Amino acid sequence: MMKFPTHFISVFTALATLLFPVVLPPTSSAQQPVTIAISKTSPNYEHFLSRSDSTICVVDMYSLTIDSALLQLKGCDALLVTGGEDVYPGWYGKEKEIGRCTETNLHRDSLDMALISLALQLKMPVFGICRGHQIINVFLGGTLVIDIPTDVPAPIIHQCEDYLHCFHPVFLPSNSLLSKISDCDSASVTTNHHQAVDQIAPVLSVNALSKDKVVEGAEWKNPADKSYLMGVQWHPERMEKTNPLSGMLADEFINQAKKYAANKHEDGL
């Protein structure tokens, strides 16, 4: 049976520091285009970003080796961690329940966690969508619900064949960063997931819930001295830009990437 380290943050941060010390490539004084690393891209994610800013450049990390991806990340201005297969349950102590997962990808898990580790070390903006939201929680010490239909019996449908028309409402605490960004306390979102956050990571707080109390989003519990971090369970890239839980999230993520890029230039990095 495969064994996994218990303290992912220290392990991946130590590896990233040893193998890839934080020395960013020099840039010219001319304004550089903002570049966003995407853990595994698709036209939907690229459109999600470009409809907010057509000048955004993206780099697909999944096409690279982990070593190369980490080197590329240091030249980027933000990290978008996207949807995909189930996170391997061994990472959060439920390896015996692997049979209840639909599909896993250990390479993807390792890549995503290495990227998250380095991005947080660099204090780079990070945005997680669906699986991306889940693996951020796992990386920071949280766990996942293995199968919502079995473990959270409720009338809310979180996954269906016609996922483009599978919607349900989510509810946002008024004091959350997500609520401030979206300027709303609830909205309807498109959904396509059979897993979800179970125990929230100690450093995170829940910023969105569905009626059945399934966690739909997370952010820093104490954001002081930390980079921008946002995770959502739904798929904003499949929603209309006018939906407050889609377009405004892209706008804010890109604004944070631009701030990060500007700070790099001011520091002469």
Active site residues: 130, 235, 237
Cα 260–chain centre separation: 17
Nearest-angstrom CA–CA distance, 201 and 166: 28
Structure tokens at 1: 């049976």
The residue type of 136 is I
Residue 259 near residue 219, CB atoms below 8 Å: no
Residue 139 near residue 9, CB atoms below 8 Å: yes
For 209, the 3-state DSSP assignment is strand
Nearest-angstrom CA–CA distance, 202 and 241: 32
Structure tokens at 15: 């590896």
